[in-house]
């Protein structure tokens, strides 16, 4: 009976998960104490019963009790050792190793790598987790978009139609930041005399050095075009920042070029673009004149200049011109809609969709820092003012919050479609690996929270933290 007890004790120890070498030690101690005890007491007891009765033989059934060895099947209980595999399976304390597989939680830290990725990959940096040079922005609950491209801004100021005191001021870089514009294209307007293409180039370089992306157009309203090198095509080829040429048509301030001259201007721009890997476009300021887009349609009929070279802007300034703009879309051309004009750009887009027109060639711009003006029938100036670069951002909110467009529907007209038209897609107008880190974070109500241009933070939590050189 005591031996059984010992075995039971051993089995319990195994199930409890004791360490093997500890179990063997218990075995030795317990077996020695049991063996040393029973043997001597059993011999003194047998002398008393031996004389009293040889029924000891009847006691021989004890040998039948000896089948206790058959009870040794308790050793079959020793299969408890088979339970010992449980211990090894317990050793799969590797389960802790599974815990390390949860350490992939650090792989969730790549979330941060996602934000910096666009921010720094474009600059050629390799980001490692824990890199002290990497700033992680908490964008939880925010909306991430590419930065806006505004392809029509008078960065050196415009206007002057009401004498010298009506010259509009130069653009300050913080204006771009406050309104989400990470890429800007500068150009001249009516004044190509006191404002020069040289000065425009200098301002373009200023903005680039201050941290945003800036390009420009050579030319102005007039013809022959003011240039840097003496020729529009040479400007496009040799000045890296120049993407094309500016010209005014169908306006009382326009030079009234002939059809042949328009074809020549466009042909030179196209070839220069081909030679330099640029769009080589002719941006056409469209006025209120009754001719509208007729000069462009004539140029396309008498030449082989691709329709995409001509880029009419301010197309939404009156109903007749807008109708011609829709026709221009049908022919595969691009049209640029100006924010704040006669018909909202967003409303023009909805109308184009209603008519089944291709809208992927529609772009929007602000005409920022240019002057707006109204004239009497005799041509005298009635009023004049200056446009802000905030018009593009306001139009986005109008399209989403008033017209009911989704953000995904509204954004392309000031991001990727503009980039495509300027041959900058893949670099600008997108959030993607390899693209420039031009990023915006918005609150759910489209309040601008964060502005990143070329991987540098200019605005955080709605506060401009990086300004132009001489801005306070």
Residues 6+ apart with CB under 8 A from 165: none
Buried b (16+ CB within 10 A) or exposed e, 125-146: eebeeeeeebbebebeeeebbb
DSSP bridge partners of 181: 148
Active-site annotation holder among 191, 367, 438, 449: 367
Q: Are 253 and 395 in contact (CB under 8 A)?
A: no
| Cα 299 from Cα 282, distance rounded (Å) | 13
> Active site includes 367?
yes
Decide the pairing of beta strands 381-386 and 242-249. unpaired
Q: Is 103 helix (H, G, I), strand (E, B) or coil?
A: coil
Q: Are 325 and 310 in contact (CB under 8 A)?
A: no
| Cα 449 from Cα 177, distance rounded (Å) | 11
Q: Are 216 and 190 in contact (CB under 8 A)?
A: no
Helices and strands (DSSP H and E) totals, the chain: 24, 15
Residues 6+ apart with CB under 8 A from 55: none
Q: Is 367 helix (H, G, I), strand (E, B) or coil?
A: coil
- Max Cα-Cα span within the chain: 153
Note if the bond before 224 is cis, omega within 30 degrees.
yes
Decide the pairing of beta strands 242-249 and 281-286. parallel
Q: ∠ CA(326), CA(329), CA(334), 5° rounding?
A: 120
Please write down the HEC assignment for all residues of 385-436: EECCCCHHHHHHHHHHHCCCCCHHHHHHHHCHHHHHHCCCECCECCCCCCCC
The set of catalytic residues is 367
């Amino acid at each position: 009976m005591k031996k059984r007890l010992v075995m039971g004790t051993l089995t319990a120890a195994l199930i409890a998960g004791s360490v093997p070498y500890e179990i063997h030690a218990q075995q030795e101690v317990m077996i020695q104490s049991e063996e040393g005890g029973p043997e001597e007491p059993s011999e003194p007891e047998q002398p008393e019963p031996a004389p009293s009765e040889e029924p000891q033989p009847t006691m021989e059934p004890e040998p039948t009790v000896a089948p206790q060895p058959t009870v040794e099947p308790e050793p079959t209980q020793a299969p408890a050792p088979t339970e010992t595999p449980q211990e090894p399976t317990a050793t799969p304390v590797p389960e802790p190793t599974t815990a390390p597989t949860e350490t992939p939680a650090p792989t969730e830290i790549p979330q941060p790598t996602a934000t910096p990725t666009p921010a720094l990959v474009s600059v050629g940096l390799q980001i490692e987790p824990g890199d002290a040079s990497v700033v992680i922005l908490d964008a939880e609950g925010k909306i991430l978009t590419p930065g806006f491209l505004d392809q029509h801004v008078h960065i050196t100021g415009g206007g002057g139609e009401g004498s010298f005191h009506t010259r509009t001021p130069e653009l300050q870089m913080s204006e771009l930041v406050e309104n989400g514009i990470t890429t800007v294209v500068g150009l001249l307007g009516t004044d190509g005399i006191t404002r020069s293409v040289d000065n425009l180039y200098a301002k373009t370089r200023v903005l680039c050095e201050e941290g945003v992306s800036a390009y420009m157009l050579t030319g102005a309203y007039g013809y022959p075009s003011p240039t840097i090198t003496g020729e529009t095509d040479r400007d496009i080829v040799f000045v890296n920042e120049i993407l094309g040429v500016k010209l005014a048509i169908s306006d009382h301030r326009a030079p009234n070029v002939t059809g042949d001259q328009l074809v020549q201007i466009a042909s030179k721009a196209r070839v220069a673009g081909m030679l330099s890997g640029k769009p080589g476009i002719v941006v056409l300021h469209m006025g209120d004149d009754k001719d509208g887009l007729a000069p462009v349609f004539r140029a396309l009929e008498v030449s082989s200049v691709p329709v995409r070279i001509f880029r009419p802007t301010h197309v939404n300034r009156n109903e007749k011109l807008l109708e011609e703009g829709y026709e221009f879309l049908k022919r595969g051309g691009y049209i640029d809609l100006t924010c704040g004009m006669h018909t909202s750009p967003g409303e023009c887009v909805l109308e184009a969709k209603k008519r089944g027109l291709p809208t992927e060639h529609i772009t929007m711009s602000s005409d920022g820092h240019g002057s707006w003006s109204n004239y009497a029938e005799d041509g005298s100036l009635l009023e004049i003012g200056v446009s802000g670069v905030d018009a593009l951002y306001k139009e986005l909110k109008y399209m989403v919050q008033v017209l009911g467009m989704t953000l995904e529907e509204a954004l392309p007209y000031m991001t990727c479609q503009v980039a495509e038209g300027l041959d900058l897609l893949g670099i600008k107008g997108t959030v993607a690996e390899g693209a420039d880190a031009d990023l915006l974070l918005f609150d759910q109500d489209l309040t601008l929270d964060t502005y990143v241009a070329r991987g540098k933070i200019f605005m955080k939590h709605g506060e401009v933290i990086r300004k132009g050189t001489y801005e306070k």
